[in-house]
Structures are given as structure tokens and as C-alpha cells.
Structure 1
Amino acid sequence: MMDENHQTALEALRDARDSVIEPCISSGGGEIVKRLGDGWLAAFDAGEEACASALEIQKQLTFDGAPALRIGIHEGTVSFVDEDVFGSGVNIASRLEALAKPGGIAISDVVFANLPKDLQVSFENAGARLLKNIAEPVKVWAFGGIPPTGGSSEPISVLLENFVERSSSSKMAPDILDAVAIELEKYRWLKVQRTDDDAAASKYYLRGTLRRSGERVRVTVDLSARHDGRRLWSERFDRVVIDEFELVDELGMMLARRISAEIDTYEKMRAEMRPPEQLNAAELSARANDLMSSGLPDAFDEADAMLTRAVALEPRNTSAYIQKSFVGYRKAMSGAWPVHPTLAAALQPAMEVVRIDPKMPGGYVMLASVYGMMGKTEAAFESAAQVERLNPNAWGAPHGKSIACTFASPDWAQTHDPDGLQLLSTAERTLELAESSKFRSGHLFFLGIGQLLHNAENLQPAVSTLERSAGAAGATWWPSLFLALVELRRGKRPLAQQHIAAAHTLFPAFSMSVIADIFERSRIWPLWRLELAQLSNLDLST
């Protein structure tokens, strides 16, 4: 308003102050603590009084030319010092004011919880928000709406600041940063920035130091979020320099892998704190992926609905199509949907990713996974090889191969991987690359199958791995099924019964026909036919 007409804006502000704002605060039982030119800080004895006053202010500020003001309200401990007020209550109220829509009000959950019903109905749930310089998320309720914080999806920017070198004899730090930048750029959803001019645009920044003493090198790094300075990850790496090129490559790949994983986890956490209607396509995709990590079939439809909205918002968003394919793959795994038509449908969004961006590894990851489960083993391996060419750090490449080796036909397995060694090595590589993945239960499952195929005489290593898989977050009924089969092979029928009961608890519709629909075309079926026949005689509902 000041830019448009300085004098008119001042007059409107004075009019609002004298006729609406200060009278409403006073009549509502509040006290003006500080006047801030175009803002006010007021204190009330109760949140109910503050909200009633705020609603009255916004109701009256509807006349022509009235300024559209934001109001934030929080309840908390404050200290009055020298005619000023301090405390976290003031800080949070200030952040909420900035969050509110012009003409609107944003209040914290602690305020909302203490309001009578007739005031609560004026506010809508705006979800939990991360507020600047506030450590914990604050659940927000809004009057007048809260604008989306999303916008269109752009690659997430990471600023790589020059490492501080503590040794005059070492010049490795720039080379390590170059290697990190090269590897990070292979994650197409990340954008690397290297100069201070880019600092304002970056969401995250990596800092570090390098020290060298003789042939020993110590690299210390920390990754932080720019909006609140929160440190997401820090670690120290000690290495002996044998070949500088190899060491630079090793640290570059390892740091890129950890940085991408930490940012992915943090982005998912932030997306979870806001209502879906406020998220952009990339954030909806991250939220959907997090939902799918629960392993619960009920979550898959919710994730699918989010992704349908993501595609509607941004029809060329590759993250949305990747997760759309992933939903189909997870549905097929669950047994709650017919396996083969569901897998066929899951191929389409993966192919769309490759069409939109042929250099996006995630599209090929899903092709490898879906083709693998369909028993199209060579096509799966070809897609996994493409992932490796685009991003050697992506755990989707070895994981796709693990799926392909498991669901390969008996003829292919007899020719290419009769003792399960290839499955074993790809599953181990997946776990190495995906150390912070929320889908670790599935990665452990394929390792357990590899151990079963590799050593049919000593089943204990496979049992230990499958038990870890069954106990991990988001576990499906698959590890429980194969634990039951192993115990039948070992003659421990009561234990097998317990594992079948666990599978039935996870998936009440679990049945022999579901098992057959998923596994009967794979190498596993003839190897475990005897135990599967015994399994059919167990009471699956127990």
C-alpha cells in the first residue's frame, strides 16, 4: 500500500488503528505492549479473549481501503522487562503472524485446545509447521485460510561450501568437493550450488574441514538446513592415503549417498507436517513414499490418491510418476490386488518417467522392479544396468536385480544363478547402499532368500535374516511366510504355525491362492513345493 500511495496508506493505517484495532484490543481485555509502526504486540489473560478480539478486528477491517492485516496468537510464558516483553510465546506468535494469510489469523494448537466450541468452529486445521528458529513443529489452526507453502517442484538446492583445510601440505579438499558435486548431480532431484552468490537460493548447505598428517587424512562434514540452521547430519571420516584418486572418489560417492539420504528423510518429515492440500507435486510424492513404507495395504490407496493429485498439479513431474509406479509394485506385493494386471499397470508410469527424462534413474529403478517381479528377468537386468550407468549410488539397481533373481523362472535360475550367489551379492549391495532406507525389511527379505538358495543345508543364517526382516518397521507377511516354510523343513511345525499366524495378522486375506498368484512362476515354487503342500494343511486363521 505504501508503494502505491504513501499518504493514503498512512491514513488507512491510522484509521484502522484508532477505530478498530486498539479499541478491539482494549474492549477484549487486552493490553498493548508495543506499537511497531504497522504492527502491534498485545497481551491477554486468556487465549479465548485474544481470539475473540482478533476475530472482531478482522470482521471490522472489511471497509473499502482497509489494510489487510495478519494476526498470530500463541499462549506461553513471557517476561516483561523495561516496557518490553520476551519469551518463546512472543517468538511463536510472531512466526504465526507471518504465516497467516492477509486478513486472516493463525493460532497454535495450545490456544485452539482451550477455546470454546463456538470459537473453534472459526478455525480450520492447517497442520503442523516448522517455524523459523523454533525447535519443535507447531500445529497451526487458521481463520481466513493459509496459503500453500509449496509452489511448483524444483530440484532441491544444496550449497557446497569450500572445505577449510588445516594442513598446508594437502590440496585434496577441492577435489573432494568436486567429486561430491558430480555424484550429487546424478540424483536428478538435487541441484548443486558452489558459490556464495547461490547461498540465498539453497535449501541446504554442506560445510567441512580437512586435516592431513602424513598419510592420514581426517574429513569432518556437517549438513544443515538453511531455513532454521538445523544440523541434519555430521560425521568424521579418517582414512589412510594410499591412492589420492581412489580416496577422493570413495569419499565423493559416500558423502553424496549420505547427503541425499539425509535430505530425503528431512523433506519427508517436513511434508508430513502439513496438510496434503498445501503440498506441491514433489512434496506429495515424498509423503506418498513415506506412507508406503508402512507396508499396510490401506496406506497404498491413500498414497495413490496423493499421487493422482500430484500428477494433476504437475503433469510432467517425474517424482510423482516414479511413486505412482511404486504404489502399483507395492500393491502387487501385498496380495490384496491381482498381481499381474497390477504389475502391468505399474509399468505405465515408469515408462512415462523414461519418456519425460531419460536420465532420471528412478524410472529405470521401477522398470527393473516391476519387470523383475513379472519374471521378465533380462528386461529387469537391462533396466538395472541403466540405473548403474546413471547413478552408481542408487540402491535401486542392486535391489532390482535381487527382485529379478528371486522371481526368475526355474530355467533361468538353473542356467544363470543356480546356487543363489548373484541374489546374495545384490541383496548385500542393496543393504550397503540403503543403510538409512525405511524399506529395509524388504532388503533383508531378499538377502534371506539368497541365503536359503545358497545354503540349503545350513538354514540358520537365513532364519536370522528373515527374523530381522519380520521385525523391521513396515514388514509385510512375506518374511513370516518363509520363516514358516523353513521351520516346516526343519520339522518344527508349532513354530511354523506361529509364523503363519503372524502372516495372517499382517494380512487377514492371506491364503494359498494369494501365495500362488505371487510366487508360482518363480524359481522358489518348485524348490519349496513340499513345504507349501504342508502349509496348505495348516489352519491359516489361527
Structure 2
Amino acid sequence: MSSSERKSVILAADVVGYSQMMDEDHEIALEALREVRDSIIEPSISTGGGVVVKRLGDGWLAAFEAGSDACAAALKIQELLAIDGAPALRIGIHEGAASFVDEDVFGSGVNIASRLEALAKPGGIAISEVVFANLSKDLQVSFENAGARLLKNIAEPVKVWAFGGIPPIGVASEPTSVLLEGFVERSSSNNLASEVVESTAIELEKYRWLQIHRPDNDGATSKYLLSGTLRRFGERVRVAVDLSARHDGRRLWSERFDRTVADELELVDELSAVLALRISAEIDAHEKMRAEMRPPEQLNTDELSARANDLMSSGQPDAFDEADSLLTRAIALEPRNPSGYMQQSFVSYRKAMSGAWPAYATLAAALQPAMEVVQMDPKMPGGYVMLASIHGMMGKTEAALEAASQVERLNPNAWGAPHGRSIAYTFATPEWARVHDPEGLQAISYAERTLELAQSSKFRSGHLFFLGIGQLLHDAADLQPGISTLERAAGAVGATWWPSLFLALAELRRANRQVAEQHLAAAHTLFPALSMAAIAEIFERSRIWPLWERELEQLPDVDLST
């Protein structure tokens, strides 16, 4: 066996509809294939400086030294086939690593060229950016920008240029998958490492948008790889974990955890919960970053939903219309995919928070898509997170707490459960709060738990807001802890006008009118249409209103438009 590996330009070609042609008339199909092979395809490859490396029945793989030669040959082939009225051909071209073994060829250059060939339209050509960039202007004008595309089993998007029309965009969503390798245990003790791996897999599977693979169950197509080591020294354990993107091995996150073993089961439970929380957050952030790099028309339902969620983290009402548009497309692409409905509910919820829409009516509208999620996938925590948040803000406290309990049953690591409860306790009616949480301690504890679980969340400003409000509810005599937290909320990325408004109220209570005016000006900057009517629409039914009514009545005196 002889082999060699080098960077080559690979041309992959395939006859369109050949199987059907064979079914209709075997002899005619064979004769047509021989004719175009001998008179058009292989002569054009040869005279263009290429070599046919492999015949694939009704397809070919050819190698060229230069992308310009491969493209010129491909254009000539398609021109001659169109004139001759012969069977249509699809062609894909990419420059990359190729290993030539006897009369075969392998490598990334072949894989991507083959995916591009499948992407091309009948009678068309699809080439990668690396090929297009090195073409002369005379050749470049033949190709249109088809945008970045996700190709099957190719992790990173490939920018595509097309001749013969823009290829259609695939829209099917595939689960975000993780290959969970067994951790290497460097000790002579029992197999603690495998226990950590198994428990982590169980915790990760509670995130319904993640799919967990093992090396022995088709993990070859996974987008991410989690590996690690566990070392034990007596009663001390050190776990090192590494999360990487599989297509290029790029490390996305790594961490080391040192623990003392008092109870092995408790240790396994603690480590698996921490690992699942961090891994899911890192993958979520990476998926959103990948989606942001590509135009919306090239995204599938899950990617459109992730982009919409990211837009919501800005806290700006201007983003709502764009998010709505993305989700309309997402639901049209896959009407039975719950991710689009979940984010649609979230957009309505954020609209209600903004003050720019009637709060109660908009919250009511948010309930329907949240219920759709629960009906489609009763095990998806996100649907119940939205129900907890919506019911909570509407003052339907018991319904909100029940939904939050369901989130916790499905995934104890999800920050949606304590966040839903913090919303419920904050927006509870005065009557309910007097019975169940008169001192605001529950509001504080659940907000603190949310911040603990959501350390990398882009919605951290909102989580800080609920902690600050809880602190103000708890201790009216000492406002400083709540003010300090609200200042952090107001300064965080994606802050809305809520923290600035309550900072203004707190400073009015402390008779710091000038400081209050500064905070109110900041609230106006974030929401120029801020008015007493908008504030009342959101907060008047809650326990907050009677406690701050005197300061709220002073707001018109500090230049609040009505």
C-alpha cells in the first residue's frame, strides 16, 4: 500500500437523479453516463490539469493543483452538459488536506468538497471561500455569495460561493450534542471517576436541549468533547475537566476542582451538579456566538431561538421586534419544535417588563406559547420557567410557585426555579405577602440562589434587581444593602430602567433628592416614555406599591412625565 498526504484542491461531482434514470431504463442510463464521462467530464478534468482519483459509479473525485484550474474545468463541464442536453451534474470544490492511498483519497478536503457537491443545485457548482479567494476576477464573477453554511458532520460554518443559483438552506434543527468520555482515574482506589462521569451525564440530560453521547453510542457526530482526569490522594480528590469543540479541538473551558472526601456519594453529587451547570452554560454561550456570526436566513429553529434569546439580554425594547421576527421564522420552519415557542413567550414577558406595552395583557399573551412548550415536551424545564415568571409577575403566586417546583423536579441545577420564586415573592399581593413572607426573607434567599446558579447569565442585571428589591423589602430601616445591590444591577450589562427607578425611590426615602433625580434621569435614558401610568401598570398590584407609595407620589415632583 502506498500513500501520500498533501494539500490539494478536490473536485467532487455527481450525476443528479441517476438512480431514477436506472430504474426507468437501465441500458439508456448506462450509455448516457458513459457518453458524458468519456466525452465531457474526464476530458475536461484532464485538459484542465486535474487527475481523476476515484470513480464512484455515477460520481467522480478529482485532484487539482490550483483552485482556478478546478473551477475553470467545472465551469466548462457544466457549459458542455447544458448545451448537449446531457444528465445534470452537481459539483463541489474545496482546498484542504487530502491523503492519497493507492487509488483512493481521504481527508478534510474530500469531506468538504463532497458536502459542497451535495449542496449545489443541479447543473451548478458550490465552492468554498478558500477556493474563491484565490480565483482571478474573471472567474470570481461567475459565482454568487451563498453565505456561511453548516455542512453535515462539519462543525464550523463554511462560507460558500455558488454558480447556477443559490443553494437552498437546510433548516432542520439537530440536538446540541456532547461526547462524554470516561475520566481517567489516577489512583488505586475504587472507580470514583466513572461514578462522577455517570452522574454528570444524568445531570446534563436534564437540560433537554443537550444530547449526551458516549464513545460507544455514536459519539462520532458530537459537536463537543468533555474529558478529564480524577486523582485521589488519600482523602483528597482533584478533578480536572476540559471542554472542547470537536471539529478543531479548541478548548472552550477547563477547570480544576479540589475536594476532601467525607462521603463519596455526596462528593459525586456535588461535583456532577457543578459540572453540569458550568458545561451547559459554556455550550449555550458558544452556540449563541456561532449563531450570531451568520445571517438569520441561514439559521435553523434552535439557532433562531438562541439568537432571539440573546437579543432579549440587551434589555432594549428596540430588540423585541427583531426577536419577534426571528421567532416567527423559527416556528414556521419547525412548528413542533418547542424552542421557538419558549422564546416567543419570553419575548412577550420582556415586553411586559419594558413598560412600552400594557403589562397585564402582554403577560396574558405570553401564557399561550408557554403552555405550547409544556404540551410539546412536558420534561422541558423552560416551559415551566416561563409559567413561573409570567404567573409570578401577574400576582398569581401559588401558580407561579407550583411551576417553579416543577422546574426544580425536572432540573435542580436550572436557575429558572429560584428565579421564578423570586419573581413570585416580589410581585405577590400585599395580602399574600403578609401571610407567607412578611419580612421579604424568601424573596432574598431565592434571588441569592438564582445568582449562585446563573453566574454566567447575560440576564444577571435582572437577577441582581430581585435581590436588591428583596433587601429593601426586608429592612426598611437600613436601605444601604438594597441600594448597593441595585447599583450593581443598574451597572450590569443589559440593565433596564427598573433598578434606576428603585434607586430613585430609595434615595427619596433618604431625602437625597438630587441623587434621586440622577437615578431617575438614568431611568428616562433607558426608557424615554417612562411615566407613572407605566410604573403603575407593572407594580400597582404587588406588595411593593403600598410600601413605596409615598415616594412614588413624589416622583412627579422630580420631573417624571405623566
Shorter-chain TM band: 0.7 to 0.9
Mapped to 2, the partners of 1:333 and 1:198 lie a distance apart of: 44
Q: When the two structures are superposed, what TM-score results if normalisation uses the length of structure 2? A: 0.82
- CA deviations 1:232-262 (Å, max 9, x no partner) are 2211111000111110110111111112112
Distance of 1:125 and 1:488 partners within structure 2:
58
Q: Aligned to 2:91, which of 69, 75, 78?
A: 69
Give yes or no for contact 2:72–2:139 (8 Å, CA) kept in 1: no
Residue pairs, 1:181-192, within 5 angstroms: 181-192=201-212
Do the aligned residues in 2 keep the contact of 1:13 with 1:67 (CA within 8 Å)?
no
Q: Which runs of 5+ in 2 are unaligned?
A: 1-14, 23-28, 55-60, 97-108
Contact kept? 2:291, 2:307, Cα under 8 Å: yes
Return the letter of the residue paired with 1:318.
P
Is residue 448 of structure 2 the alignment partner of residue 424 of structure 1? no
- Whether contact under 8 Å (1:112, 1:120) holds in the other structure is no
Match for residue 209 of structure 1? 229
Match of 2:346 among 326, 333, 351: 326
Using the size of structure 1 for normalisation, the TM-score is 0.84
Deviations 1:373-395 (A, max 9, x none): 00101110111111111111110
**1:145 and 2:169 correspond:** no
Question: Contact 1:34 / 1:40 at 8 angstroms: preserved in 2?
Answer: yes
Query: Deviation of residue 158 (structure 1)?
Result: 2.2
Summarize the Cα distance change of 1:92–1:108 in structure 2 as closer, same or farther, 3 Å threshold. Answer: farther
**Which residue of 59, 64, 69 corresponds with 1:41?**
64
Cross-structure match for 2:286: 266
List per-residue Cα deviations over 1:14-71 (Å, max 9, x = no partner): 5445776677x7xxxxxx58775633535489xxx99899767655553423532124
Query: Which residue of the partner structure matches residue 403 of structure 1?
Result: 423
User: 1:513-537: per-residue Cα shift (whole Å, max 9, x none)?
Assistant: 1111111111111111122122112
Residue 12 (str. 1) matches residue 36 (str. 2): yes
More divergent stretch after superposition (172-181 vs 105-114): 105-114
Q: CA deviation at 1:347?
A: 0.5
- 1:485-508 residue CA offsets vs partner (Å, 9 max, x unmatched): 222222222222222222222222
> What pairs up with 1:379-390 in 2 under 5 angstroms?
379-390=399-410
Aligned residues: 516
Does the Cα contact within 8 Å between 2:41 and 2:77 map onto a contact in 1? no
- Aligned residue for 1:234, secondary structure, equals strand
Structure 1 Cα separation of the partners of residues 468 and 374 of structure 2:
32
CA offsets per residue over residues 384-434 of structure 1, 9 Å max, x none?
111111111110000001111111111111221122111110001001111
Between the aligned partners of 2:478 and 2:157, the Cα distance in structure 1 is: 50
Q: Report the 3-state secondary structure (helix = DSSP H, G, I; strand = E; otherwise coil) of the residue aligned with 2:382.
A: helix
Indicate if the aligned counterparts of 1:407 and 1:522 stay in contact, CA closer than 8 A: yes
For 1:34 and 1:21, locate their aligned partners in 2 and report how far apart those are by CA, in whole Å. 7
Quote the residue 2:515 is aligned against. 495
8 Å contact from structure 1 (residues 72, 96) kept in 2:
no
Are the counterparts in 2 of residues 325 and 348 from structure 1 also a CA contact under 8 Å? yes
Is the Cα contact below 8 Å between 1:161 and 1:194 reproduced in 2?
yes
Does the aligned pair in 2 maintain the 1:335–1:510 contact within 8 Å? yes
8 Å contact kept, 2:179–2:226: yes
Q: Any conservation in 2 of the 1:72–1:100 contact (CA below 8 Å)?
A: no
The CA distance in 1 between the partners of 2:469 and 2:146, in whole Å, is 46
Quote the offset at 1:111 in angstroms. Answer: 6.3
SS at match of 1:303: helix
Deviations 1:111-144 (A, max 9, x none): 689998997796245248799999x977555442
Q: Which amino acid aligns with 2:92?
A: R
User: CA 1:160/1:18 → structure 2, altered by over 3 Å: closer, same or farther?
Assistant: closer
Report if aligned partners of 2:78, 2:89 keep a CA contact under 8 Å in 1.
Answer: no
Change (3 A) 1:39 1:91: closer
How far the C-alpha of 1:274 sits from its partner, in A, is 2.7
d(CA) in 2 for partners of 1:129, 1:8:
34
Q: Secondary structure at the match of 1:337?
A: coil
Q: Give distance in 1, aligned partners of 2:228 and 2:315.
A: 37
Structure 1 residues 285-300: aligned runs within 5 Å: 285-300=305-320
- Aligned twin of 1:464: 484
Report if aligned partners of 1:20, 1:60 keep a CA contact under 8 Å in 2. no
Contact 1:398 1:430 in 2 (8 A): yes
What does residue 372 of structure 1 align with? 392
- Are residues 145 and 133 of structure 1, via their aligned partners in 2, closer, same or farther at CA, if it must alter by over 3 Å? closer
1:105 paired to 2:126: yes
Q: In the superposition, relative to structure 1, how do residues 250 and 271 fare at CA in structure 2: closer, same or farther (>3 Å)?
A: same
Q: Provide the rounded CA distance (Å) in 2 between the counterparts of 1:484 and 1:130.
A: 53
Note closer, same or farther for the CA distance 1:502–1:42 as it changes in structure 2 (3 Å cut): farther
Please tell me whether the aligned partners of residues 157 and 193 of structure 1 are also in contact (alpha carbons under 8 angstroms): yes
Of 349, 357, 370, which aligns to 1:337?
357
Other structure's SS at 1:438 match: coil
Mark the CA change 1:237 to 1:274 in structure 2 (over 3 Å): closer, same or farther. Answer: same
Distance in 2 between residues matched to 1:99 and 1:467, nearest whole Å: 55
**Matched AA of 2:285:** T
Is the Cα contact below 8 Å between 2:92 and 2:114 reproduced in 1?
no
Corresponding residue of 1:308:
328
Equivalent pair of 1:405/1:422 in contact (CA under 8 Å) = yes
Q: How has the CA–CA distance of structure 1 residues 429 and 64 changed in structure 2, closer, same or farther, with 3 Å as cutoff?
A: same
Give the direction of change, closer, same or farther, for the CA distance of 1:92–1:70 in structure 2 (3 Å limit). closer
Q: Assess, with a 3 A threshold, how the Cα gap between structure 1 residues 61 and 385 changes in structure 2: closer, same or farther.
A: same
**What SS does structure 1 have at the residue aligned with 2:335?**
coil
| Distance of 1:130 and 1:440 partners within structure 2 | 35
Structure 2 residue 505 is matched with structure 1 residue 485: yes
For residues 430-454 of structure 1, give each alpha carbon's deviation from its aligned partner in whole angstroms, at most 9, with x where no partner exists: 0111111111111111111112112
What does residue 8 of structure 2 align with? none
Instruction: Find the residue that maps to 1:68 and give its secondary structure.
Output: strand
Counterparts of 1:97-176 in structure 2, within 5 Å, are 101-102=120-121, 103-106=124-127, 108=129, 123-124=144-145, 126-127=147-148, 142-143=162-163, 144-151=165-172, 153-176=173-196
1:312 Cα deviation after fit: 2.3
Cα distance in 1 for partners of 2:148, 2:309 equals 19
1:399–1:427 contact (8 Å) kept in structure 2: yes
8 Å CA contact 1:34, 1:42 repeated in 2: no
Percent identity over paired residues: 64
Higher mean C-alpha displacement, 436-445 vs 277-286: 277-286
Inter-CA distance 525–55: structure 2 relative to 1 (3 Å threshold): farther
Kindly indicate whether residue 378 of structure 2 is the aligned counterpart of residue 358 of structure 1.
Answer: yes
**Any conservation in 2 of the 1:109–1:138 contact (CA below 8 Å)?**
no
Task: Report the CA distance shift for 1:140/1:56 in structure 2 as closer, same or farther (over 3 A).
Answer: same
Cα gap change, 1:535/1:224 in structure 2, threshold over 3 Å: closer, same or farther? same
Is residue 453 of structure 2 the alignment partner of residue 433 of structure 1?
Answer: yes
Match of 1:515 among 535, 539, 561: 535
Distance in structure 2 (CA, Å) of the matches to 1:115 and 1:504: 55
1:178 and 2:198 aligned: yes
* CA shift in 2, pair 1:40/1:15, >3 Å: farther
Structure 1 gap ranges (5+): 26-31, 75-89
Q: What is the CA deviation profile of residues 455-505 of structure 1, one whole-angstrom value per residue up to 9, with x for unaligned ones?
A: 223322222222221222211111111122222222222222222222222
- Superposition deviation, residue 157 in structure 1: 2.7
Could you tell me which residue of structure 2 aligns to residue 81 of structure 1?
Answer: none
